[in-house]
Amino acid sequence: MAKITMRQAISQALWEEMERDPMVFILGQEVGVWGGTYAVTKGFYDHFGPERVRDTPIAEAAIIGSAIGAAMTGTRPVAELMTINFAFSAMDHIVNEAAKLHYMFNGQMVLPMVIRTVGGGGRQLGATHSQTPDAIFAHFPGLKVIAPGTPADAKGLLKAAIRSNDPILFIEHSTLYQVRGDVPDGDYIVPIGKSTVQRPGEHVTIVTYSKMLELSMKAADELAKEGIEVEIVDLRTLRPLDIDPVIESIKKTNRGVIVEEGWKSFGVGSEISSRIYELAFDYIDAPIIRVAQKEVPLPYNQTLEQLALPQIDDIIKAVKEVL
């Protein structure tokens, strides 16, 4: 087991799967000669060649449309969108074709395709390039949505996604690429659709995923100094959603805080809190609190951007309030 960055873990997963299965190929803007916007596919073009590492025009609809066609004919494309904000340009392909073709044609075809993309704020990229629209895509049956928060999960879940016969949106947070963590060597797989307890505790349950896992863990470290032990459940996959570990944790702690980077209105936290109330109402001793981004387009100014995004102090405040 090595301690590597999330960038390295994702790159490792892609490389291993391309070596394992010649039907896996990559396509997207700057993935080849340039090595990827975030250097994830650096060196891939020289090793695997232009047939399996394909640079495309700046045309997201063409990238996803091509991936759908390739998947239908037996290959396993990994299509990269430079940012999830550009997925809106391919929305019809993603939610009306990729998510539905298997169902609409009565299972006569499968779509083993992965859409890798980058989400989240914190890099001063402005309101149109810093969004966290995860809940929008998780709304559609037929499309699996994965958003890992650790390097190990990033590797294991990406390998599982590439081997899956379903269309999968794989969301990588833009500020997590340099985060380091222990990652098992070799053929390491994490099952899709399984939430996990990242930190055990007894006083409050925090439910979170992706970048907000990192902040929640740091908040839990600070709260532990005051004798408050927080249990953290990492969703990892938004669709299919594994709510059982969340419910079991709530039954133990009787209190919950949900932390997400997206906007609170109609978001992931809304869905989680609704399910908690539906499935564990008798165990709840205080109203669930949601921590989320301020309801504004994310500012470009660094100070204002950080004010709009959830912070460690926001999580600490919420935990103390629910207690």
60 is catalytic: yes
Give the global pTM. Answer: 0.97
Name the residue among 313, 258, 314, 246 with its Cα closest to residue 287: 258
Neighbours of 226 (CB within 10 A): 10
Q: What is the pLDDT of residues 52-84, one digit of tens each?
A: 999 999 999 999 999 999 999 999 999 999 999
The stretch 167-186 carries a mean pLDDT of 96
Contact partners, residue 78, CB within 8 Å, separation at least 6: 14, 24, 25, 26, 27, 113, 114, 116, 162
**Catalytic residue selected from 129, 260, 271, 305:** 129
Q: What is the pLDDT of residues 95-136, one digit of tens each?
A: 999 999 999 999 999 999 999 999 999 999 999 999 999 999
Name the residue among 244, 245, 216 with its Cα closest to residue 319: 216
pLDDT at residue 180 greater than cutoff 90: yes
The stretch 183-195 carries a mean pLDDT of 95
Q: CATH 3.40.50.920 occupies which residues in the chain?
A: 196-322
Domain 2-183 in CATH 1.10.3720.10: no
Percentage of residues in the chain having pLDDT higher than 90: 99
**Catalytic residue selected from 17, 60, 80, 271:** 60
User: Domain 196-322, what architecture?
Assistant: 3-Layer(aba) Sandwich (3.40)
Q: Are 143 and 137 in contact (CB under 8 A)?
A: yes
Q: What is the pLDDT of residues 220-244, one digit of tens each?
A: 999 999 999 999 999 999 999 999 9
202 is catalytic: no
Q: CATH 3.40.50.970 occupies which residues in the chain?
A: 2-183
pLDDT for the residue numbered 186:
86
pLDDT at residue 1 greater than cutoff 90: no
Question: What mean pLDDT is reported for the chain?
Answer: 97
Please give the Cα distance from 6 to 12 (Å, whole number).
10
